[in-house]
Structure formats: structure tokens, C-alpha cells
Structure 1
Amino acid sequence: MTRQHHLRGVLLASIACMLWGISGVAASTLFTLNHHVTALWLTQIRMISAGAILLIWGQLIHAQPFQIWRQRATGLRVISYGLLGLVPVQLCYFEAVKFGNAPIATIIQFLGPFIISIYYFLFKHMTPTRPEGIGMVMAFVGTLLIVTHGHLTSLAISPVVLIWGGLSAIGVATNTLIPRPLLPKFGAMAVTGWGLFVAGICLNVFGPLWRVHVTLTAAEWGLVLLIIIFGTVIPFLMFAHALGYILPTTASLLDAFEPLSATVFSVIFLNVQLTTFDLVGGALIILAVMVLSLNGRKMMNFFRRRRAET
């Protein structure tokens, strides 16, 4: 792997993460402009449209996305991935954005990797390493600063935002763990495409799209298209392509661009006011995830040794 390829991967992953952050800002803008737009409606439109685009693209490049349905077990896992992984990571995130703002929602969602560490500790009996422990303490302190602004007897953000943001962080964990067995065989494009499409269709149980009449201006439709194309399809393809040039641990470090871009663009374009506690807390959470990611290679080696032993 040449240095040029490594730089290309870093650039692709960085841009993808920034686009994900910008999509949160676009959603916040849309919720402000049109109060009839709900997080559920926007999530349905985003999932169905982006999923269909990825599946059509996969079919055109002969990725054979329909192979995943030939076995009942893989089909059920895709459905689980959509409902238990993608729904909380997208719907709950948009709910947090709607009731709060994009920077806070994105930073809380960024706690997802620590949910994964807790999962391995509780169910796989894998004791956290020292870097993981340090990262968890940093993440806890950062979250506490954002939630309380230093006043431990009261909340500085709405409990609704905290609940939706926490659910989206859990969604990050399930979104990572559930599809893992499918990716080597079927590829990220088919797995993500079907997960998005199935989840979007299933969400009609809670609010059928054909019964919702939302009138949007041309500018508002532009924001919806931005969220679908530049906030979902393009960054996914860029990030998947970047993993061919850089290590997953490097890619996870670059995820920090998502909350950073959400914060910067919210302050510039939406005039969102963040306190010193928000900034310091967000910085601690981002640094904590970096500590966890830097130790990722040791974690993977540990998991391989445990698997070999058992």
C-alpha cells in the first residue's frame, strides 16, 4: 500500500464523515423551516430512497444484492440489522436533532463505541483494557458536562434529547455488531442497501407514507435530496471505498469529523450557541473515542486469541 493510497483513503473517509455531520445540520434546518416534517417521515424517505439507490447501483455493477435472500438465516439477519440497527441510529438521531440540535445529537451518538465495549464486557466477559477504561471515564465526564453544564442537580438539556440521543448511541452499537457476519460474504453495499430499504418499509407500520401529506418548497426538497444523496448514499460509498486503503482503526479515528463538522456548520449557518461546557464535553468524548480506536488493533488481536482458545 503506497503513501498515496493511504492519503486517498484518509481523504475519502474524512469527507464521508463530514458529509454525515452536514446531513444532521440539513435535517435540523428542515425541521426549523417546516414544522410539519417529522423525524419519522424524513427517516422513511431517507431509508427507502437511499436503500433503493444502493441496491440498483449494486445490481448495475453485478454485486448480486439479491443473493442475501437465498438463505432464511441471512434474510432474518438483514431484517434485524434494519430494525434494530439502522432504525435507532437514524430515526432516534433525527428525533434528537429535532428536539435539540445537530451538534449535541451527534456528540451523544458518538458514544456508540463505548456501548460496544460494555456489550463485550457483559456478554463476552472481556475485561476492558487500560486505554478503554481511561476512554470510558473521559466519555462519562464529557457527557456529564454536556448534560448538566457543571450543575449536577439539574439537566442543561431536555431529557427527551438525552433519551433519543442515548438510543441512537445504542443504535451505533447494534448497527456495528448485527451485520458483521454478513459483510464478508455479501458486501457492504448489498447489506446496507437492504437494511435501509427494509427498515424504511417497516416504519410504515408507525406512519404510512401515503397517508402523510407534507408540502415542501423547492428549497426544502433540496434539503431532503441533500440528506439522501450527500448525507447517505455518497458518504457510504466513499467510506466503503476508503476501507480498501486504510485500516478500520484509522477510519474510526476519522469519525471525529462527523461531530466536528456538525458543530462547525451549525454555528456558522444556524447560529447555534454552544456553551463552554458543551465544547469541553464534546472534545472529551471525541478524544475518548480516539483513545479507544488507537487501541483497536490490540483489541482485535485479543478477540482473535480468545476465539482460538475457545
Structure 2
Amino acid sequence: MTQGHHLRGIMLASVACMLWGISGVAASSLFAMNPDVSPLWLTQVRMIIAGIILLIMAQGVGAQPLQLWQNKYTATRIVSYALLGMVPVQLCYFEAVKYGNAPVATIIQFLGPFIISLYYLVFKRTKPTRSEAIGMVVAFVGTLLIVTHGHLNSLAISPAVLIWGLLSAVGVATNTLIPRPLLTKFGSLSVTGWGLLVAGVCLNVVKPLWQVHLTLDWAQISMLGIIIIFGTVIPFQMFAHSLGYILPTEASLLDAFEPLAATVFSVLFLSVQLTGFDLFGGALIIFAVMILSLDAQTLAVLLHRRHSRNTD
């Protein structure tokens, strides 16, 4: 692989992560512009429209997305991915943004890789490596600073932000683990498209879209379009495509651009005020994830073993 290909992969992954961060800022702006827009409604619309677009793209490139439903195992897997992966990683994230702000919500969600490590520790009896253990301690300290601002007897953010943010971090873990056996066989377009569409349709059980009556002006419609196209469809495919040029460990490191972009754009365009504790705590969490990513080959081996057992 040439140096140009490697640079292309880095650029694709970096831009994808920045777009994810910007989509959180766009959601925060939309909530402020129209208080009638709920995280549930936004998540439903985003998932259904983006899912349909991705499935049309999959059919267009000959991926035959309907094949995924011809096997009981893959069908069950995609439903699990939708409900246990897509729903928490998106709905819970938007809830955290609604109750707080995009930078804090994105930083807390960034704890997802450590949820994966804890999963293997608790359920697979796999002890963390030294890098993982150090990363967990650093991430815990960073989270503590954001949540308490140094005052351990009180919370500096609302409990709702913390709870929804941690649930979205769990969603990051399940969103990573559950679809892995499907991606190599069916491709990211089909798997992501069905995951989004199934999740969006299932959320209508909570509150059907047709029962919600909203009036959106052109500015609000533009924000919605940014969230769907530039915050979902494009970055999902850019990030998946980047893995053809760079290693997953490198891509994981570049994921730090997401909370950085959310912070910078929130400060510049939404006048969000962040304290030194927020910035330092966020930097610690980003640093901790980088520590984990540098030792991610161990985690990759574990994931590969799990994949092998599931397909046997």
C-alpha cells in the first residue's frame, strides 16, 4: 500500500469522525431552535431516512441487502444490532445532548471502548492488559472531573446527562460488538442500513411518527438534513471505507476528532461555555482511549475469537 493510500485512509477516518461530532452540534442547535423536537422524534427520522438511503445505495452497488434476512441467525443478529446497538448509541446520545450539550455528551459517549474491555473482563474472564488498566484509571479520573468539577460531594452536570451519556457509551460497545460477524459477509451498507431502518421502525412502538405534528422552518430542515446526510450517511461510509487503507487501531485513534469537533463547533457557533474541568477531563478521556487503541491488537484478537465461535 502506498503512502498516498495511507494518507487517504487517515483523511477519510478523520473527516468522518469530525462529521459525527458536528452532527451532535447540529442536533443541539435544532433542539434550541424548536423545543417541540424531541430526541425520540429526531432519532426516528434520522434512522429511517438514513437507513433507506443506505439500503438503496447497497442495492445500487449490487450488495443484495435482502439476503441478510434469508438466514435466521443473521436476521436475529441484525434485529439485536438495531435494538441493542443503534438505539442506545443514537437515541441515548441525543437525550444527553438535549439535557446537556454536545461536547459533554460526546466525551461521555467516548467511554465506549472501556465498556468493551469491561465486558471481556466480567463475562470472558479476560484480564485487562497494563495499557487497558492505565487507560481505565485515566478515563475514570477524566469522567470524575467532568461530572463533579473537583467537588466529589456534588454533581456539576445533571444526573440525566450522566445517565443518558453512559447508556450511549454502552451503545458504542454493543454497536461495535454485535454486527461484526455480519460486516465481512454482507458489507457495511447493508448492515448499517438495516440496523438503522429496523431501529427507527421499532421506535415507532414508543410513539408513532404520524402522531407527532411539527412545523419546521427552512433553517430547522437544514439542520435535520445535516444530521441525516452529513452526520449519518456520509461519515458511516467514509469510516468504513477508510479501513481499506488504514488499520482499525489507527482509525480508533482518529476517533478522537469526534469530541474535539463537537467541542470546537459548540464553542464557536453555540457559545457553549466549558470549564477547565470539562476541558481537562475531556482531554484525559481522549488520552485514555488513545492508550487503549495503541494496545488494541489484543482486543482485536478477542473479537476475532468471538467471531470464529459464532460462525462455527
The TM-score normalised by the length of structure 1 is: 0.97
Could you say which residue in structure 2 is the equivalent of 1:215?
Answer: 215
Could you say which residue in structure 1 is the equivalent of 2:156?
Answer: 156
In 1: Cα distance, 2:35 partner to 2:113 partner: 33
In 1: Cα distance, 2:290 partner to 2:16 partner: 18
Superposed displacement of residue 306, structure 1: 9.8
Superposed displacement of residue 266, structure 1: 0.1
In 1: Cα distance, 2:305 partner to 2:61 partner: 37
Could you say which residue in structure 2 is the equivalent of 1:293?
Answer: 293
Superposed displacement of residue 268, structure 1: 0.2
Could you say which residue in structure 1 is the equivalent of 2:97?
Answer: 97
Contact 2:188-2:237 at 8 Å conserved across structures: no
Could you say which residue in structure 2 is the equivalent of 1:246?
Answer: 246
Could you say which residue in structure 1 is the equivalent of 2:2?
Answer: 2
CA separation of 1:51/1:143 partners in 2, compared to 1, >3 Å: closer, same or farther?
A: same
CA separation of 1:62/1:304 partners in 2, compared to 1, >3 Å: closer, same or farther?
A: closer
Mean Cα deviation higher: 214-223 or 297-306: 297-306
Summarize the alignment of residues 1-310 of structure 1 with structure 2, pairs less than 5 Å apart.
1-301=1-301
In 2: Cα distance, 1:13 partner to 1:66 partner: 28
Equivalent residues, number = 308
Contact 2:68-2:75 at 8 Å conserved across structures: yes
CA RMSD between the two structures: 1.4
Superposed displacement of residue 298, structure 1: 3.6
Superposed displacement of residue 299, structure 1: 3.5
Contact 2:41-2:209 at 8 Å conserved across structures: yes
Contact 2:181-2:307 at 8 Å conserved across structures: no
Superposed displacement of residue 94, structure 1: 0.1
Superposed displacement of residue 189, structure 1: 1.1
Superposed displacement of residue 297, structure 1: 1.7
After superposing on structure 2, the runs of 4+ consecutive aligned residues of structure 1 that deviate more than 4 Å are: 301-308
Measured against aligned partners, the alpha-carbon deviations of 1:151-200 in whole angstroms (never above 9, x if no partner) come to: 00000000000000010000001111111111111111111100000000
In 1: Cα distance, 2:180 partner to 2:119 partner: 15
Superposed displacement of residue 44, structure 1: 0.3
**What amino acid does structure 2 have at the position aligned with 1:290?**
M
Unaligned runs of 5+ in 1: none
**What amino acid does structure 1 have at the position aligned with 2:209?**
L
**What amino acid does structure 2 have at the position aligned with 1:102?**
A
Identity %: 71
**What amino acid does structure 1 have at the position aligned with 2:263?**
T
CA separation of 1:307/1:11 partners in 2, compared to 1, >3 Å: closer, same or farther?
A: closer
In 2: Cα distance, 1:63 partner to 1:306 partner: 25
In 1: Cα distance, 2:19 partner to 2:225 partner: 13
CA separation of 1:165/1:272 partners in 2, compared to 1, >3 Å: closer, same or farther?
A: same
Q: Secondary structure at the match of 1:181?
A: helix
Superposed displacement of residue 300, structure 1: 3.0
The TM-score normalised by the length of structure 2 is: 0.97
Contact 2:81-2:178 at 8 Å conserved across structures: yes
Measured against aligned partners, the alpha-carbon deviations of 1:207-248 in whole angstroms (never above 9, x if no partner) come to: 100010011000100000010000000111111111100000
Unaligned runs of 5+ in 2: none
